[in-house]
Amino acid sequence: MDAESREWLRLLDAGACPADRRTAIERLHERLLRVARREVHRRHTAITGSELDDIAQQAASDATLSILGKLDSFRGESRFTTWAYKFVILEVAHKIGRHHWRHPPVALDTEDWNRLPERFGIDPSEHAEAAELSAAIKRAVEATLTERQRQMFVAIVIQGTPLDALVVKLGVSRNAIYKTIFDARRKIREFLVTNEYLTNHVALERP
């Protein structure tokens, strides 16, 4: 076993100095996070933005815990870091696969998008032509929302899915859906104001 690997094992051992062990765990997590971020981008997944980074963060954290629980299984046949990186790569693969299973892409219907201004309580004649405003909202949804926000927004706001039905389908609480929709509306509003489709006094946060 090489010296660096022995040092990792010494510092990460449960019997090590608490301060040294804490520092070593932080270093390990930082390395795993870098690997996780490279891996999620390498896979060219359709997931983007903050959601992609969330997967990398979760993978790094879960891999760190797994490694700490399996230090005794390291035999020194490779460098410790090489062995550790396998954990985070597997975690990334697992989480991306599970994400796509739970959140399939949402199909967006043109007629549904054309009803958006009235669903927001906006009179298009006061701000822009209806078709232009609908197209702008669609761009905002596609450009600014995470996949999770997009899924809930389209289901609730555009397709009119009953809240309780979405709670059962996604296995989340009503409050979680309310918060997600609130955040989605805020992002869309900011996009529309920034691009001068709406004025600042128009609120999109109402149900």
What pLDDT sits at residue 115?
56
The chain-wide mean pLDDT, for the chain, equals 77
Give per-residue pLDDT as tens, 90-146.
Answer: 888 777 766 554 555 555 555 555 556 555 555 555 544 566 777 788 888 888 888
What pLDDT sits at residue 33?
92
Residue pair 192/136 in contact (Cβ under 8 Å)? The answer is yes
pLDDT (mean) for 170-192? 87
Please indicate whether residue 34 or residue 45 has the higher confidence score (pLDDT). 34
In 3-state terms, the chain is what percent helix, strand and coil (to 5)? 70, 0, 30
What pLDDT sits at residue 171?
77
Please indicate whether residue 123 or residue 35 has the higher confidence score (pLDDT). 35
What pLDDT sits at residue 16?
86
Query: With 90 as the cut, is the pLDDT of residue 30 above it?
Result: yes
Distance CA 79, CA 74 (A): 10
Between 5-14, 45-54, 109-118, the lowest mean confidence (pLDDT) is in: 109-118
Quickly state the pLDDT bin for 206 (edges 50, 70, 90): very low
The percent of residues above 70 in pLDDT, for the chain, comes to 72
Q: Where are the domains of the chain?
A: 3-102, 110-195
Give per-residue pLDDT as tens, 153-169.
Answer: 888 877 777 676 677 67
Residue pair 40/55 in contact (Cβ under 8 Å)? The answer is yes
- Using CA atoms, how far residue 77 sits from 35, 53, 66, 83, in Å, is 21, 31, 19, 9
DSSP letter at 162 equals -
Query: With 60 as the cut, is the pLDDT of residue 41 above it?
Result: yes
The percent of residues above 90 in pLDDT, for the chain, comes to 14
**Among the four given CATH numbers 1.20.120.160, 3.50.50.60, 1.10.1740.10, 3.40.190.10, the one describing domain 3-102:** 1.10.1740.10
Handedness of CA 125, 127, 132, 138 (dihedral sign): negative
Query: With 70 as the cut, is the pLDDT of residue 7 above it?
Result: yes
Fold of the domain spanning 110-195: Butyryl-CoA Dehydrogenase, subunit A; domain 3 (1.20.140)
pLDDT (mean) for 44-70? 80
Number of other CB atoms surrounding residue 170 within 10 Å: 17
Q: Which two tokens stand for residue 197?
A: 């489709």
Query: With 90 as the cut, is the pLDDT of residue 200 above it?
Result: no
Using a cut of 0.75, tell me whether the model's pTM lies above it. Answer: no
Q: Which amino acid is at 67?
A: I
